[in-house]
Structure 1
Amino acid sequence: MSTEHSSVEVGNDEAENRYVATIDGKPAGTAAYERSGDTITFTHTVVDEEVEGQGVGSTLIRHALDDARTLHLTVVPQCAFVAAFIEEHPAYQDLVA
C-alpha cells in the first residue's frame, strides 16, 4: 500500500487540458483530459519515475475527480489508471456514466 506524498499540490491547467501535480513546485505528474459539455474524459496519466509509488498519481486523480464532482461532470475513465482508481474507490463510481 502506498503512502500519499504530503507536499503534492494539484492544479488544473485548462489551457493544456490537464491536471498537474507538483512537489515543491516541480512537476511530478499529469492527468490529461478532454472536456465536452458536461463530460470529462481522462485520456492519459503520467507520474514521474522518481516519485512513482509515493501516492502522487492517486492524489492527482483524487483531486481531478473531486473537481469533476464539484463541477457536476460525468467522468469517462478512458485512462487505465483513472479506471483502476475509480474501481478501487467506490465513492467515485457515481461519477462514471
Structure 2
Amino acid sequence: MSTDTPDVQVSNNEAESRYVATLDGSPVGTAAYERSGDSITFTHTVVDRDVEGRGIGSTLIGYALDDARRQHLTVVPQCEFVAAFIEENPDYQDLTA
C-alpha cells in the first residue's frame, strides 16, 4: 500500500473495534467502528495533534476501507472524516449503501 508516511503501520484491533495507526511503533491514530452483519459503521477517527497533516488519517482510513472491501462489507461513514475521505476518493464510493 502506498502512503505519504512510509513509517505508518495500520492494523485492525477487532477486540476493541478499531483500526490503529502506529508511527515508529507508537500509536498515533484510531478509527473506531461498529460491525453489524455485513456492514461496518465508522463512528470516530482520531489522529494525534502532533502528527496531523502528515497523511496518517488518510492512510488509516484507506487501509480500513480496503479491509472492508476485502471482507465484502457495506460501509456506513457516520464519522465526518471517513465521509469526506470517501467523497474525495471516488474509488471507495461503491462501498457505501
Q: Which amino acid aligns with 1:76?
A: V
Aligned residue for 1:52?
Answer: 52
Q: Which digits, 9 at most, give the CA deviation of each residue in 1:23-49, with x for residues without a partner?
A: 011001000000000000000000000
User: CA shift at 1:5, angstroms?
Assistant: 1.2
User: What are the ranges of 5 or more consecutive residues in structure 2 without an aligned counterpart?
Assistant: none
Three-state SS of the structure 2 residue aligned to 1:28 is strand
| TM, length-normalised to structure 2 | 0.96
Moved over 2 A (4+): none
Q: Which residues of 2 match residues 1-97 of structure 1 at below 5 A?
A: 4-97=4-97
What's the TM-score once normalised by structure 1's chain length? 0.96
Percent of aligned positions with the same letter in both sequences?
75
Residue type matched to 2:37 in 1?
A: G
SS of equivalent residue, structure 1 residue 75:
strand
SS at match of 2:28: strand
Deviations 1:38-81 (A, max 9, x none): 00000000000011000000000000000000000000000000
Deviation at 1:6, TM superposition (A): 1.3
Query: Partners in 2 of 1:25 and 1:35 — Cα distance?
Result: 27
CA distance in 1, matches of 2:78, 2:22: 23
